[in-house]
Amino acid sequence: MHTYTDVSAATARALADLCLDRLSMHAPLDNSLTPDELGAIAGETVTESGIGHDEALRLWEHVFAPACLSVDHPRYLAFIPGAPSKASAAFDMLVGASNVYAGSWLEGSGAVYAENQALRWISDLVGFGEGAGGVFVQGGTIGNLSALVAARETARHNRVGSPPRRWAVLVTDETHSSVKHAVQVVMDAEVISVPGDERGRLTGTALRERLAELSESERDGIFAVVATAGSTNLGVVDDIAGVAAVAQEHGWWLHIDGAYGGAGLAAPSVRHLYAGIEHADSFIVDPHKWLFAPYDSCALIYRDPVLARAAHTQKAGYLDPVNVEGEWNPSDFSVQLTRRARGLPFWFSLAVHGTAAYTDAIEHTLTVARAGRDLIGAAEHVRLLAEPDLSVLIFERIGWSASDYVTWSAEVLNDGFAFVTPTKHDGKVCTRFAIVNPTTTVDDLRQILNSMRQAAR
Ligand SMILES: *Cc1c(COP(=O)(O)O)cnc(C)c1O
């Protein structure tokens, strides 16, 4: 298994060819199969004597790969899609082949240096100072959790007197489920929900009003507030400056969840929406969403990384060689120790193309989204439900029931035409386009909207 023989060389070459094919093709949308369907086609693949290179490759190419949706398809507009640049996807192959340990400076200094350059670009977009820094983690979920753990450890450390009855974090209904899950399930703390404004935004005013309703002991446990820079369902940016002012008055940690929308910081046409973001204590953005990198990658950045290090550094006798003062150990800044160099594909593409190419690509998707909004506004069978700040369009098909959306969504997926799923807004089923792929065109959106004309299903 560990010798590079003629057979393993032939497999590696066949794999490299498959990778190049995938990079160069317009992949079909594909569709998922049931376990029974896959079982009938693939059968048992893990056997005592092995099925061999050729058969395993054949299974992947002809059975398993077509049973995975192509997230980078231009009409994949559900959830938040991904659209890796060719350079980032190609570099990911090398990251896999190299297997760098990127948890510590001692073992991965070159990779960590390169990743930190990419983090620096993002920190500068946020407006964090020289001292800011962090780590690339698996995704927004781990990024949000790690930031909030650092926030609570900081609050614990600074607190005089006995602990509060319940630690608590302020959020809104539009705050991503990963934040609420991190706080309630993982950290066993309280989520306090603040009503959003008419577009679902968290504002400083609403925050103050909600605060006035809380009991002394509820207020006492608050250690952080989470503002969303690009909500997943509506693509709306919270009133960050207003929230930051209240956080500052109360000494709370301000975390910004920009997993999807943080990329908009690089787009001059929307940069003003993020005013005040430089006051945040921590920030995340997922390069695997709107920054054109492959899965999985989240940039987690702290304004003062010393606080994160105090919360996250793992101590054990065998770790002493890596816990050297003054060295940048990525594992000090999140809940994970061992780490793939998951910022490298993003770094490579950013280094190759330059930051202006990123600005252009993000602005392009915004332009397409604005044209899509106009199409929805002009059509009679659909209605926009929230004015978007960024590149998510949420809308209803007038006259459709919940099951109409489900039927239509399955039909267009089965046809290999588009992947657009139902969602909910104000308790009502509707649908949305999330546009992060620079190859998505206005005509793609027009075609999908046209496919919704048929009245009842
Ligand atoms: C996607 C998303 C997350 C979760 O990120 P993962 O990378 O899926 O773990 C968190 N917050 C927001 C706003 C998101 O859009």
Domain shared by 392 and 318, yes or no: no
* Spatial distance between the Cα atoms of 3 and 213, rounded to a whole number of angstroms: 68
pLDDT of residue 321: 84
* Spatial distance between the Cα atoms of 320 and 330, rounded to a whole number of angstroms: 15
Please state, for a pLDDT cut of 70, what percent of the chain lies above it. 99
Average pLDDT, integer, range 76-86: 98
* Spatial distance between the Cα atoms of 392 and 383, rounded to a whole number of angstroms: 14
The reply to whether 73 falls in a domain is no
The CA 242 to ligand 1 mean position distance, Å, reads: 23
Domain shared by 144 and 264, yes or no: yes
* Spatial distance between the Cα atoms of 438 and 416, rounded to a whole number of angstroms: 20
Domain shared by 247 and 378, yes or no: no
The answer to which of 7-11, 276-280, 282-286 has the lowest mean pLDDT is: 7-11
pLDDT of residue 317: 83
Domain shared by 109 and 151, yes or no: yes
Torsional sign, CA 352, 356, 359, 361: negative
Please state, for a pLDDT cut of 90, what percent of the chain lies above it. 96
* Spatial distance between the Cα atoms of 71 and 89, rounded to a whole number of angstroms: 13
* Spatial distance between the Cα atoms of 287 and 362, rounded to a whole number of angstroms: 12
Residue to substitute in 146, 286, 300 for testing ligand 1 pocket (most ligand atoms within 8 angstroms of CB): 286
Average pLDDT, integer, range 124-142: 98
> Residue 345 is part of which domain span?
93-352
The CA 413 to ligand 1 mean position distance, Å, reads: 24
How many CB atoms neighbour CB 43 within 10 A?
11
264 within 8 A of 390, measured Cβ to Cβ: yes
Alpha helices, H only, 60-167: 86-98, 105-126, 140-158
How many CB atoms neighbour CB 145 within 10 A?
21
The CA 296 to ligand 1 mean position distance, Å, reads: 11
Average pLDDT, integer, range 98-123: 98
Domain shared by 222 and 344, yes or no: yes
Name the CA radius of gyration of the chain, rounded.
23
Q: Whose CA is nearest to atom 3 of ligand 1?
A: 140
pLDDT of residue 360: 98
Q: Whose CA is nearest to atom 14 of ligand 1?
A: 259
DSSP-assigned beta bridge partners for residue 430: 423
Residue to substitute in 180, 260, 423 for testing ligand 1 pocket (most ligand atoms within 8 angstroms of CB): 260
Point out the ligand 1 atom lying closest to the alpha carbon of residue 296.
7
Half-sphere exposure of 297 (CA within 13 A, CB side): 27
- Using pLDDT thresholds of 50, 70 and 90, give the confidence band for residue 316: confident
Domain shared by 305 and 435, yes or no: no
* Spatial distance between the Cα atoms of 140 and 284, rounded to a whole number of angstroms: 7
The reply to whether 40 falls in a domain is yes
The CA 142 to ligand 1 mean position distance, Å, reads: 9
For the stretch 324-353, pLDDT in tens is 788 999 999 999 999 999 999 999 999 999
- Using pLDDT thresholds of 50, 70 and 90, give the confidence band for residue 236: very high
Domain end residue (candidates: 352, 368, 389): 352
pLDDT of residue 319: 79
Ligand 1-lining residues (CB < 6 angstroms): 80, 139-141, 144, 176, 178, 228, 232, 257, 259-260, 286, 298
**Which residue from 222, 159, 163 is spatially nearest to 192, judged by alpha carbons?**
222
- Using pLDDT thresholds of 50, 70 and 90, give the confidence band for residue 456: low
Q: Whose CA is nearest to atom 12 of ligand 1?
A: 259
DSSP-assigned beta bridge partners for residue 136: 299
Domain end residue (candidates: 68, 83, 116): 68
Domain shared by 335 and 360, yes or no: no
Residue to substitute in 257, 346, 394 for testing ligand 1 pocket (most ligand atoms within 8 angstroms of CB): 257
Domain shared by 150 and 259, yes or no: yes
For the stretch 172-207, pLDDT in tens is 999 999 999 999 999 999 999 999 999 999 999 999
pLDDT of residue 457: 56
**Which residue from 73, 158, 46, 150 is spatially nearest to 448, judged by alpha carbons?**
73
pLDDT of residue 422: 98
The reply to whether 297 falls in a domain is yes
The CA 260 to ligand 1 mean position distance, Å, reads: 7
Burial class from Cβ neighbours inside 10 Å (0-12, 13-18, 19+) for residue 180 reads middle
The CA 141 to ligand 1 mean position distance, Å, reads: 6
* Spatial distance between the Cα atoms of 278 and 303, rounded to a whole number of angstroms: 9
The CA 178 to ligand 1 mean position distance, Å, reads: 7
Q: Which two tokens stand for residue 197?
A: 């404004």
Q: Whose CA is nearest to atom 4 of ligand 1?
A: 140
Residue to substitute in 178, 290, 335 for testing ligand 1 pocket (most ligand atoms within 8 angstroms of CB): 178
- Using pLDDT thresholds of 50, 70 and 90, give the confidence band for residue 455: low
pLDDT of residue 322: 78
* Spatial distance between the Cα atoms of 192 and 210, rounded to a whole number of angstroms: 9
For the stretch 353-376, pLDDT in tens is 999 999 999 999 999 999 999 999
**Which helix (H) or strand (E) covers residue 149, if one does?**
helix 140-158
**Which residue from 273, 37, 36, 311 is spatially nearest to 158, judged by alpha carbons?**
311
Domain shared by 53 and 125, yes or no: no
Domain shared by 262 and 405, yes or no: no
77 within 8 A of 418, measured Cβ to Cβ: yes
Number of domains forming the structure of the chain? 3
Q: Whose CA is nearest to atom 2 of ligand 1?
A: 259
Q: What is the CATH number of the domain that holds 193?
A: 3.40.640.10
The pLDDT of residue 90 is above 60: yes
For the stretch 14-56, pLDDT in tens is 999 999 999 999 999 999 999 999 999 999 999 999 999 999 9
pLDDT of residue 320: 82
